[in-house]
Amino acid sequence: MNDIAVHQFPVLIVTTGVFSALTILVVGLFNRKLCYYIVLFTTTFHFVLSILTLNHVLTKGRIQYWLGGWRPPWGIEYVVDELNAYVLVVILFLSFLGIVYSKRSVEKEIDERKHPTFYTLMQLLIAGCCGVVVTGDVFNLFVLAEVASLSTYALVAVAGGRALRASYNYLILGSLGICFYLLGIGFLYAVTGTLNMIDMKILLQNLYYNKMVQVAFVLVLVGLGIKAAVFPLHTWQPDAYTYAPSAVTLIMSTVVAKAFIYALIRLVFSVFTIDFLKIYVDAWSLIPVISAVAIVVASILAYRQNDIKRMLAYSSVVNIAYITLGISYFTSHWSLSGALVNILNHAIAKGCAFAAVGAIIYKTGIKDIRNYAGLAKKMPYTSAALLIAMLSLIGLPPSVGFVTKFYLAIGSLEVQNYLMLAIILLGTLLTLAYFLKVIEELYFKHSENNAEEAPLSMLAPTMFLAILCLAFGVYWLTGIPLDFVEKLVTVIR
């Protein structure tokens, strides 16, 4: 592949994504059936582009693209290094599967008249998230984050009824989070006079003791923390995940959450850098405490739920806490690896779980786990996928969830923090406790109901993700990709 062509790919993914969204809106006026295929085609195309980008980044080094040819401190720059490219592939891979999955689910859950606008928003959401991941400009990140967020608010509300208030809460809190982020970059702009991430990192080096920079750090952390649903700021998330249509929950839990946790990691490690964190290590040591509390409290809350989607939503809070726990021990190589690897691992496992749950809702309408009895016989493949996803989230070897916990456990030994090890083990036990409730109903109770297996277009992505849960678990553990993880960690150190 021509090098110059590859340099255009990041910007192409974002621009063609937005363009495709507008096309869908226009095409939708004439032909509603075609809309879905446009999204499917665009996402597949973008996924291929992202793979080529990752390949280029891994073999030839990072990509920098200047929009409109304006040089970095003035113009907007798109920078793709190993970490970006990896998250971009994860996001587009799961969007692709999510879109394949959404066809039947959307046909059933959403009025046919609304399909064009639904897919327009879906496409805007994906394009916005890709933009958040590839951009190297803090203000551009704000704009693209708003593109993604506004589409998400509307998509959550599609179902109507109870979803409306969930969406409204999400809108108020999410916009407030973005506002904090904007205020934070306003402070950074006031002291550095630049908006480019690389430039800002260099200019900030002499300003680490500046009060403006300290406040900006807190504002950015809180702002992006709200968007990524980091523990005490997660309150919008369970409602939004529960009442959104299945396809939207699938995309939100895998694509949106990952894009924003990436933005958080990027801002903290690439703009403020580890040197900044080392100065304020006392304040930063609050983060592992918060993460530990999050793992315990969110697990207990998950245990109390009977609605499967809400339970999985709290499980997402726990998994985001694993990521923040990983990045909080930035001195440990393994701990950071665990956090970064969990971006993929959690996306696969949670994507699989939400896909299987969506398939069950599609066929039977059951959302309450107390009615799950006997489903394993009627829907064997979906149930198997759900089982594998739950075992992954619990952390049974050789699944992906085990890898995360294994890396984090080694990381805790590396920094000699045995309390963290205990928290990881406790988290595993609590996860086992709440998923055992589901597994028990699903596999060990019998009852008669006339459910049948989900359609192929929903089953295939679900099964594929279930297989990946195990395949990636083996892959991460065999030692081959450690070189790759090494590269990811070097980016943020």
- Residues lying near other proteins in the complex (CB under 8 A) are found at 139, 142-143, 146, 150, 153-154, 157, 160-162, 164-165, 167-168, 171-172, 175-176, 179, 182-183, 186, 189-190, 195
By C-beta, is 88 or 158 nearer to other proteins? 158
By C-beta, is 124 or 454 nearer to other proteins? 124
Shortest reach from residue 242's CB to other proteins, in Å: 10
Q: Report the run of H or E that residue 492 belongs to, with start and end.
A: helix 482-492
By C-beta, is 129 or 439 nearer to other proteins? 129
* Residue 65 DSSP SS3: strand
Shortest reach from residue 230's CB to other proteins, in Å: 19
By C-beta, is 37 or 189 nearer to other proteins? 189
Shortest reach from residue 167's CB to other proteins, in Å: 6
Distance CA 71, CA 62 (A): 17
Distance CA 130, CA 263 (A): 11
Distance CA 481, CA 472 (A): 10
Provide CB contacts within 8 A for 479, sequence distance 6+.
Answer: none
Shortest reach from residue 473's CB to other proteins, in Å: 38
Distance CA 386, CA 442 (A): 10
* Antiparallel, parallel or unpaired: β 63-66 and 77-80: antiparallel
Bridge partner residues of 135 (DSSP)? 78
Locus of tokens 């083990």: 425
Shortest reach from residue 173's CB to other proteins, in Å: 9
Q: Report the run of H or E that residue 79 belongs to, with start and end.
A: strand 77-80
* Residue 434 DSSP SS3: helix
Q: Which two tokens stand for residue 219?
A: 């504002």
Shortest reach from residue 152's CB to other proteins, in Å: 10
By C-beta, is 26 or 172 nearer to other proteins? 172
Where would I find the H helices in 69-210? 82-109, 115-134, 138-157, 162-192, 197-204
By C-beta, is 226 or 439 nearer to other proteins? 226
By C-beta, is 48 or 172 nearer to other proteins? 172
Query: Rounded to the nearest 5°, which phi and psi values hold at 65?
Result: -125, 130
By C-beta, is 94 or 195 nearer to other proteins? 195
By C-beta, is 168 or 443 nearer to other proteins? 168
Half-sphere exposure of 488 (CA within 13 A, CB side): 26
Instruction: Please check whether residue 383 is in contact with residue 442, taking contact to mean a CB–CB distance below 8 angstroms.
Output: yes
Write out the DSSP string of 297-312. HHHHHHHH--BHHHHH
Shortest reach from residue 172's CB to other proteins, in Å: 5
Distance CA 4, CA 124 (A): 26
Distance CA 132, CA 145 (A): 6
Phi-psi region at 365: left, alpha or beta (left = phi > 0; alpha = psi -120 to 50): left
By C-beta, is 67 or 143 nearer to other proteins? 143
Instruction: Please check whether residue 83 is in contact with residue 340, taking contact to mean a CB–CB distance below 8 angstroms.
Output: yes
Residue 398: asked if its preceding bond is cis (omega within 30°), the reply is: yes
Shortest reach from residue 170's CB to other proteins, in Å: 10
Shortest reach from residue 282's CB to other proteins, in Å: 27
Shortest reach from residue 143's CB to other proteins, in Å: 6
By C-beta, is 172 or 202 nearer to other proteins? 172
Shortest reach from residue 108's CB to other proteins, in Å: 20
